[in-house]
Amino acid sequence: GNAPVLITFSYSYELFMEGALSPPCQRMGAMVAFQCFEDFKRCFDEVISCFAEPLCESALFSEASGLYDEESSKNMRENPIHIINVSIKTADTEDDDALVTAFSDFSQSKVSRFWSFYNVYTVLFISIVYVIFQVGMVAFRMKMKTPEYPEGREIIVICNDITYKIGSFGPQEDELFLRASELSRAEGIPRIYISANSGARIGLAEEVQNKFQVAWHDASDPYKGIKYLYLTPQDYTRISSTNSVHCRHVEEEGESRYIITDIIGKDEGLGVENLRGSGMIAGESSQAYEEIITISMVTCRAIGIGAYLVRLGQRVIQVENSHIILTGAGALNKVLGREVYTSNNQLGGVQIMHNNGVTHTTVPDDFEGVFTILQWLSYMPKNKHSPVPVMPPTDPVEREIEFVPTKAPYDPRWMLCGRPHPSVKGAWQSGFFDHGTFMEVMSTWAQTVVVGRARLGGIPVGVIAVETRTVEVTVPADPANLDSEAKIVQQAGQVWFPDSAYKTAQAIKDFERERLPLMVFANWRGFSGGMKEYFKIMKKQQI
């Protein structure tokens, strides 16, 4: 009847891992799905041919794997990443163990294909995931072998399924999100949320929708309003057994009517229960931020509760052409009574959310978003009980810092990460931190403060520095206010304004929860204490 249908998927990830830092143009990926295992075997050559030459049977896996040694692994970064995600659908959950065994044996028989690449190391992950087919949310527990944790680190990944009811949140989606997040807190491992949703679900009881009748105050003039909604005895008999409605029986105008007093719906997840679940997972996300590392990526859209979840997790990556909003442009236009906003991106696109500090960084596509998640995780411990991941330093610890700050205003990033030498062509003038390790966040918001993560002697640290130059802040005009206009505001360097004070506090909170040492390059003249700043609650922002 109404019980969820359990569908079993066997997932295999073939990861050619070496090029983790290779240019994006070198990375490729594929996702394929088959109805049965035999279809996968038959089509294997066609799938793998996207990444390799025709199968060479001369090299056995044991021989090929012997060619992979520590010396060859040093050159791994020169090779690209190729990811093949294979999903095999089966209707019988009892076949899971047999399917995994068959899949493993088949993969081992074909693994020589993977060794046709020079210096390529193949890691095979096979896991069985039970997916409730009627739920628009999926969660995964992943183990990744990364440079800072070659033995592997685990994460929990929670994703909206936008193909099911446009990614809306109902009770089942809320429950899955809650349990996955609770698991990440219990294990102390990072929680990654991939957002592509439409907010809390607003459902319709379709079994009632096409049967109700309208009783008008004046049938000849519908503009005088509705008296009540009712069902005929025949329709009431059909749906009363489902407990979809509560009705009150009356006799009126010579006929029997059942006046609708409550519409419940035969299915769960049509009304306020969705809002209850939204509040539940909002509280869970707030708690998760306090206890573990939380990262969110907005890959398509985050609406309503989806936007709240993203913000409560704090560390946000936003893909270009995605939006983070509470209410859509169409609904706002109806409230305002005119066409004010042209798109949701105008309301919550990267040009808004990156400039107001909600979004920490932007990326051009989903692949770069996932890559950025891995880069951020490289600075963070694998769980809340572990120390920070220390890497072999890329620069000698005893080296001299070649860039020397000047009395004139300068870019503080030169001091942090260095710059091309101003007078020696092709040379690099080193900065304070290891070369190439500084990753700035919230770069376009509150620009009188520079924050990010870096490594010093291979040790990850949080960084807060001061912008010494005067910066310009552009305040966009609000299309809903005909009198508003875009403004450009000057902010002096070395001064804490309400936004930069808040940015500093936010960065400190993030780094504290990541257990990173904090380095502050203090060069402030103080707070901007004018009337405008006090009006903008400067004291609250400082605290």
Interval 338-342 mean pLDDT: 93
- Flag whether pLDDT at 340 surpasses 50: yes
CATH 3.90.226.10 assigned to 390-542: yes
Band (pLDDT 50/70/90 cuts) for residue 131 is very low
- Flag whether pLDDT at 135 surpasses 50: yes
Higher pLDDT, 510 or 243: 510
Segment 326-331 long-range contacts (CB within 8 Å, at least 24 positions apart): 328/303
What is the residue type of 119?
N
As a whole number of angstroms, the distance between CA 122 and CA 108 comes to 11
Higher pLDDT, 20 or 515: 515
Output the pLDDT for position 63.
40
CATH 3.90.226.10 assigned to 136-201+274-386: yes
Band (pLDDT 50/70/90 cuts) for residue 91 is very low
Output the pLDDT for position 87.
63
Nearest Cα to Cα of residue 59 among 119, 112, 117, 122? 112
- Flag whether pLDDT at 350 surpasses 90: yes
For the chain, helix, strand, coil in percent to 5 are: 35, 25, 40
As a whole number of angstroms, the distance between CA 135 and CA 163 comes to 10
Burial 128-159 (b: 16+ CB within 10 A, else e): eeebbebbbbbbeeeebebebbeeebbbbbbb
Interval 201-209 mean pLDDT: 89
As a whole number of angstroms, the distance between CA 40 and CA 45 comes to 9
As a whole number of angstroms, the distance between CA 146 and CA 214 comes to 64
- Flag whether pLDDT at 84 surpasses 90: no
Which token pair is 17?
């891992």
Q: What is the longest distance spanned by two Cα atoms in the chain?
A: 99
Higher pLDDT, 104 or 411: 411
Place of tokens 């001061």: 466
pLDDT digits (tens, 9 = 90+) for 281-332: 999 999 999 999 999 999 999 999 999 999 999 999 999 999 999 999 999 9
Interval 362-369 mean pLDDT: 96
Residue percentage of the chain with pLDDT more than 90: 61
Band (pLDDT 50/70/90 cuts) for residue 134 is confident
Same fold, 206-263 and 390-542: no
Nearest Cα to Cα of residue 177 among 155, 204, 157, 147? 157
pLDDT digits (tens, 9 = 90+) for 3-60: 433 333 333 333 333 333 334 444 445 566 667 777 777 877 777 666 554 444 433 3
- Flag whether pLDDT at 114 surpasses 60: no
Q: Report the range out of 87-91, 116-120, 218-222, 446-450 with the highest average pLDDT.
A: 446-450
Relative to beta strand 82-90, strand 28-34 is parallel
Superfamily of domain 206-263: Biotin dependent carboxylase carboxyltransferase (2.40.460.10)
Q: How far is CA 374 from the centre of its chain?
A: 12
Band (pLDDT 50/70/90 cuts) for residue 445 is very high
Mark out the alpha helices in 32-75 (DSSP H runs). 37-48, 61-66, 70-73
Output the pLDDT for position 68.
37
Question: DSSP string of 132-183?
Answer: ETT-SEEEEEEEE--SS-TT-EEEEEEEE-TTSGGG-B-HHHHHHHHHHHHH
Interval 232-238 mean pLDDT: 93
- Flag whether pLDDT at 517 surpasses 70: yes
Which token pair is 296?
């969110």
As a whole number of angstroms, the distance between CA 368 and CA 321 comes to 14
Q: What is the mean pLDDT of the chain?
A: 82
- Flag whether pLDDT at 77 surpasses 60: no
pLDDT digits (tens, 9 = 90+) for 241-253: 888 899 999 999 8
Q: Could you give the C-alpha distances from 431 to 120, 256, 504, 506, in angstroms and in order?
A: 34, 85, 22, 25
Relative to beta strand 487-491, strand 471-475 is antiparallel
Output the pLDDT for position 99.
65
Which token pair is 132?
């409730």
Is the pTM for the entire model greater than 0.85? no
Q: Report the range out of 62-76, 206-220, 258-272, 290-304 with the highest average pLDDT.
A: 290-304
Domain map (residue ranges) of the chain: 1-134, 136-201+274-386, 206-263, 390-542
For 50, the enclosing helix (H) or strand (E) is: none
Nearest Cα to Cα of residue 148 among 542, 473, 459? 459
As a whole number of angstroms, the distance between CA 265 and CA 203 comes to 9
Band (pLDDT 50/70/90 cuts) for residue 123 is very low
pLDDT digits (tens, 9 = 90+) for 377-430: 999 999 999 999 999 998 888 999 999 998 888 999 999 999 999 999 999 999
How long, in residues, is the chain? 543
For residue 142, what are the β-bridge partners? 155
CB 279, CB 298: distance < 8 Å: no
CB 438, CB 416: distance < 8 Å: yes
Band (pLDDT 50/70/90 cuts) for residue 102 is confident
